[in-house]
Structure 1
Amino acid sequence: MRSVGVDVLVIGAGVLGRSIAFALASAEPGLRVALAGRRGAGASQAAGAMLGVLGEVTASGLHSRHGELRVRMAVEAAVRWPTWRALVHQHGERRAGGGPRARDGYGTGTFMLLNAVSARLDERAFTAVREAGRRYGLPVEDVDPDDVPAYRPLENDRALRALYLPQEAFLDARRWLAALDRALGALGNVVRTPAGELGATAAGYALHGRDAVFTAPTAVVAAGAWSTPLLHALDPDLTVCPVVAAEGTSVTLGAPAPLPAVLRTPNRAYACGLHAVPQADGSWYVGASAAPSLVPGATPSAGALRFLLDAALGQLHHGLTATAVHRLHHGNRPIGVDGHPLLGATSAPGLWVATGTHRDGLHASPLIAEELAAEILGGRPSAWLAPWRPERDLICDWPLAQAVEEAAAHHEALAAESRMRPPLTGDWPTALAELYRQRMEQTYAQLPEGFVLPPELAPLGYEHGPELAKLVTAHLDRRRRATAPATPRARGAVHPAGEDQE
């Protein structure tokens, strides 16, 4: 079997892995990068690719320390997208011999709809979008719901209020991944290889593939929801925050009408809002369900698909009923068990991590790729990545009592979105709200002391409580056993390796 020496191994070929490989290889042409990954139910192929700042804002996120840091990252990523997109396409055009630029479905404009199938949680997010616009100097315009283009809901699902966010951008995610592939193909210092077994060596890391062993002093694990078992197999003593999955189902449908901008609700119970995103070929991408899970799932469920289509046909455009189903998507969004990303160096020499971005990965990919590449190549820590170090203490912006109340509000919002109608005799709404609160109190009580599950991940607690407790307890035990704080060891700049070795 061939032995191929490179400078950096990037493990994971989703949007973050491809973007990091591109940032490294384009910044230093003499650097040799191996990008490894397999096709599967990752997040990138199933993404809706809303490159939005305001669309993801929630009331709780806007008013928490780390939530505000995430919004600021989204603002910065939006600033970087035009230059990043142009750079990727320039390399791709070189690959194509100067042909016309491939269409990636890029556009701007989002209509946010607060409709009759909403709860107070949705309304709080709707209000927070306005506040975030004022705070960060981004335009937010009131519009009449009747003036929203390509919007034809059922009468009892119609929007009562609407906002227009003119600077929120969007892409066709699958076209963008193809653009990254073309750009990577134009770089002579990037080699693609299927996924293999990653191991540590005396000099760094080795990826054992079918036909070759790739070795490098530096490895970047960007394997999405599959990152935790890969890291544990590499070094069981690493105290990297565990990564869990948020399964999502979406679908691409024929167009009942031309869609010039994104249609979406505010973020909703446990999930992103219902949304329709224009695609490069004129079709509609409609998403997305969300089901937090301890391990990635391979296929969509009938319930998730039914819930999604019911919501889209009623709340966005009932003409979707007669359109063709072009493609069913299923993916697993990676998210740190504390609700936040894992970005940067670990305590193992030469080992870096980029995962846990949840719904922000594609939008934040230019920022993460550029900042991580600069750290790897220049050894200078990034202020943008500093809060999200992989071996940090688990982040907790929630007092326990407030987390219980917020999780109960998510559950109540889920009932409203599902059109659950309580009996009209007796005070059933109050009784149900109290029942939700009691369930969340029981859920949080069974988790390790000191760990407060982010309310958006509450289903992990009430559906997988014992397994979640075991996962977190094992992580906290590893942290306690560590003899010193988990800080990166000294690293110098990465320099190109020699030729391939047979």
Structure 2
Amino acid sequence: MSERQQQDVVVVGNGAIGASIAFELCRRGFGVTRVGRPSRPYAASYAAGAMLGCFGEVTTSLLESDHGRAKLDMDYRARRYWEQWDRDLSESSGDDSSLFTADGTFVLLNTVGSAPVDSGNMHAVEAALKEYDEPYEAIDPEEMDWLAPNDLARSLKGLYIPGEHAVDSHRLLAKLDQALIRRGGRIVDAEARRVRVTGDRVTGVELESGDLLTAEHVVIAAGAKSLTLLDELDDVRRRIPPMVSGYGVSALVETEDRRLPSSVIRTPNRAFACGLHCVPRADGVLYLGATNIISPQPRQFAAVGDLQFLLGCAVDQLHTNLAEAALLSVQVGNRPVPADGFPLLGSAGVEGLWLATGTYRDGLHQSPLLARHMASLLEGKGEEYDFLSSFAPVRAPLATGTREQIVRTTVDHMMATGYEHKWNVVSEWPPRIERHLRRSYTTVVEELHPRFTPPAELVAAMTDGIHDALVGYYQAWS
């Protein structure tokens, strides 16, 4: 095994969070080496629509817990950094092209989905906008430019949020690469195998090649694969919420007439997923997203059925002429989803070892804020944001709601999935299905632990592997 020159910090991961942290540390004077494959396999950032939305993402369940409200506050604060972040990256990278691609966001409630989920989340979005005194306006979807859905999927009401934009995720990652190099940082094209620890402090990162990168600090920001680097730190890892992947499929298409909407168009968040959305990119290219399916392991390729579902929804609910669009690329991302649904931010229980992952759907949006926060921790200045202390990685499970609320949410979302897939069942079946699901999910959570309950996504997606990981984590804190 060879050993390379020691650096102050090794950052493992080159998605939006890892790349942003590496850049921020470098411009604060740290010697930084960033590790990751240039193709960014499995990363969520490359496949992201990169909506800079906090209010458009609000759900009824998010508002039901203090930790959920802290997460909303985190999103709200992160949004304010993006204009300066755009300028900083332009200056440091030497590329003065703007990251921004969309002017505001339209949130539309259409006839697809279900009342408890779609209508409930639409009300939650508006309630949060009022609570934060955020500018918005109610709009008539019939008067919107570009939008042309199937009449069976027409929008009933809409909100326009002028402060919620989007960026080009591909351009963002490229500028972060350039900015790091120009600031004197180093990029290593490799995959990390494990963290190396001597005594009670980190000493570096071992690569798949066998090479060792030594460092005073190691920041793991490798998305859904982050915790695999801690496999040999049993005592630490068992007290950190295990993670699964929120596998998602998105697509880039070129519209037939090259016309695009000028803003993000999206629905409220839907069954276990972000809502259907489209985001304009340059030269007639439109981003369509996105699915979200809980998977025990990250996935590299799209399932045909998931792509078919996404494109069918886009044609029906956004613009029927998208059926004639050219399919340019299919993208797959893996969102890091912790066992309690909340981020893993801060010290990982070993001196010099840090985690910045578990952000689920919000990582790219939060990346400038997280870069500042993690850099302050490494500088020894303490928490940049005190309210993030509850998201320290070594922690007992955080609650997304009461057990009854979580079971109800799981049932509501499973039923909504049926409506999204246009099921056609006789009228007496839905209440029978709901009763069966409620009994089934109640049994699942009661058998896991007498007090701890995972979020609805994990309850619905329970497999033997997820079950065993949850049981082991819960036992560590019982």
Q: Return the TM-score normalized by structure 2.
A: 0.94
2:335 equivalent to 1:333: yes
Instruction: Tell me the CA shift for residue 232 of structure 1.
Output: 2.1
The 5 Å alignment of 1:91-240 reads: 91-93=92-94, 101-120=96-115, 121-202=117-198, 204-209=202-207, 210=209, 212-238=211-237, 239-240=239-240
Aligned to 1:429: 430
Aligned to 2:243: 243
Match among 398, 407, 420 for residue 417 of structure 1: 420
Aligned to 2:273: 271
Aligned to 1:65: 66
More off after superposition, 76-85 vs 211-220: 211-220
User: In 1, Cα distance between the equivalents of 2:24 and 2:359?
Assistant: 18
User: In 1, Cα distance between the equivalents of 2:98 and 2:383?
Assistant: 35
Give runs of ≥4 in structure 1 deviating > 4 Å.
Answer: none
Say if 1:16 and 1:362, in contact at 8 Å, map to a contact too.
yes
User: In 1, Cα distance between the equivalents of 2:436 and 2:387?
Assistant: 41
- Could you say what secondary structure the match of 1:468 adopts? helix
Aligned to 1:400: 403
Structure 1, unmatched stretches of 5+, are 94-99, 481-502
The 5 Å alignment of 1:470-481 reads: 470-479=468-477
Tell me which amino acid in the other structure corresponds to 1:358.
Answer: Y
Alpha-carbon distance change, 446 to 293 in structure 1, aligned in 2, over 3 angstroms: farther
User: In 2, Cα distance between the equivalents of 1:33 and 1:262?
Assistant: 35
- Could you say what secondary structure the match of 2:26 adopts? helix
More off after superposition, 73-82 vs 452-461: 452-461
User: In 2, Cα distance between the equivalents of 1:395 and 1:169?
Assistant: 30
Q: Return the TM-score normalized by structure 1.
A: 0.89
User: In 2, Cα distance between the equivalents of 1:85 and 1:220?
Assistant: 23
Say if 1:260 and 1:278, in contact at 8 Å, map to a contact too.
yes
Aligned to 1:460: 461
Instruction: Tell me the CA shift for residue 103 of structure 1.
Output: 4.5
Aligned to 1:388: 391
Percent sequence identity is 35
Deviation by residue 1:344-372 (Cα, 9 ceiling, x = unmatched) = 01221100000000000000001111011
2:25 equivalent to 1:27: no
Say if 1:84 and 1:366, in contact at 8 Å, map to a contact too.
yes
Aligned to 2:4: 3
Tell me which amino acid in the other structure corresponds to 2:14.
Answer: A
User: In 2, Cα distance between the equivalents of 1:48 and 1:133?
Assistant: 22
Alpha-carbon distance change, 467 to 196 in structure 1, aligned in 2, over 3 angstroms: closer
User: In 2, Cα distance between the equivalents of 1:397 and 1:457?
Assistant: 12
Tell me which amino acid in the other structure corresponds to 2:360.
Answer: H
Tell me which amino acid in the other structure corresponds to 1:473.
Answer: V
Count of paired positions: 467
User: In 2, Cα distance between the equivalents of 1:37 and 1:281?
Assistant: 30
Instruction: Tell me the CA shift for residue 429 of structure 1.
Output: 2.9
User: In 2, Cα distance between the equivalents of 1:438 and 1:235?
Assistant: 35
User: In 2, Cα distance between the equivalents of 1:105 and 1:300?
Assistant: 27
User: In 1, Cα distance between the equivalents of 2:255 and 2:390?
Assistant: 42
Aligned to 2:441: 440
Instruction: Tell me the CA shift for residue 206 of structure 1.
Output: 2.5
Tell me which amino acid in the other structure corresponds to 2:217.
Answer: T
Deviation by residue 1:198-221 (Cα, 9 ceiling, x = unmatched) = 332436322334485310021011
Deviation by residue 1:71-127 (Cα, 9 ceiling, x = unmatched) = 11111001111112211111011xxxxxx6234343331111100112111101101
Structure 2, unmatched stretches of 5+, are none
User: In 2, Cα distance between the equivalents of 1:211 and 1:340?
Assistant: 33
Instruction: Tell me the CA shift for residue 313 of structure 1.
Output: 0.6
Tell me which amino acid in the other structure corresponds to 1:386.
Answer: S
Alpha-carbon distance change, 479 to 458 in structure 1, aligned in 2, over 3 angstroms: closer
User: In 2, Cα distance between the equivalents of 1:267 and 1:479?
Assistant: 32
Deviation by residue 1:4-34 (Cα, 9 ceiling, x = unmatched) = 1100111111111100001100112xx2111
Say if 1:103 and 1:280, in contact at 8 Å, map to a contact too.
no
User: In 2, Cα distance between the equivalents of 1:107 and 1:323?
Assistant: 20
User: In 2, Cα distance between the equivalents of 1:276 and 1:214?
Assistant: 41
Tell me which amino acid in the other structure corresponds to 1:303.
Answer: G
Say if 1:204 and 1:217, in contact at 8 Å, map to a contact too.
yes
Tell me which amino acid in the other structure corresponds to 1:224.
Answer: G
Deviation by residue 1:193-252 (Cα, 9 ceiling, x = unmatched) = 422333324363223344853100210111110012211234554322211111001111
Aligned to 1:75: 76
Tell me which amino acid in the other structure corresponds to 1:243.
Answer: M
Tell me which amino acid in the other structure corresponds to 1:80.
Answer: Y
